[in-house]
Amino acid sequence: MANASDLITPEMRSWIGRKTPLSPLLVMTTSDIRRYADATGDRNYLWFDDEFAKSTGYKGRLLPPTLVGWVPFSMRENLDGSGAEAPDLRRQIPVPENYTNVRNAGSETEWLKPVYPGEQLSTQSCLVDIVARQGRAGLGIYITQEEQILNADGEVALRRRHTMALFPETKLGKTPKE
């Protein structure tokens, strides 16, 4: 049986604190808002009416926060996290070879500043934690990455923490051997 304290190697720990370069994101426009509203049915006046948005204290109409949170996922990347403007560091860590069963272990998002259509956003991610824990699926490696989306003024508009869990691959119908 593998021991949780032995699973996370010094080489894996050395990845904690690594950051991606600050990268520009796609610029979202009023056309993107219309497509978002058509897909979701969200017809909030803040997304469509400049005067209404101004009357509530904003500079003009806003990008829906959920749409802002989607922007980084619209970039193309390879399964290993390479090839994107903002690569997924979690997928580049040298984990044990048999840890190929990847699962979402949670996500937490904070919207901190309004974002406006046509505003150039940028993103940067940092690897913040790697731990091993025993769970129902076996001994897992939990890797947490924090992503920040910055507005045109360089202020953090959105902060998100994603945790990915990796488990040893098992054959269908078999339980993990420990």
pTM of the entire predicted model: 0.76
CA distance 152 to 95: 36
- Looking at every residue in the chain, the average pLDDT score rounds to 85
| Rounded percentage of the chain residues whose pLDDT exceeds 70 | 84
CA distance 88 to 136: 26
- Indicate the burial class of 17 (C-beta count within 10 angstroms; 0-12, 13-18, 19 or more): exposed
Please write the tens of the pLDDT for every residue from 42-81.
999 999 999 999 999 999 999 998 888 765 544 434 444 4
Tell me: domain 4-167, CATH 3.10.129.10, correct? Answer: yes
CA distance 108 to 130: 17
- Answer with the residue of higher pLDDT: 19 or 137: 19
pLDDT recorded at residue 75 = 46
Residue type, 41: G
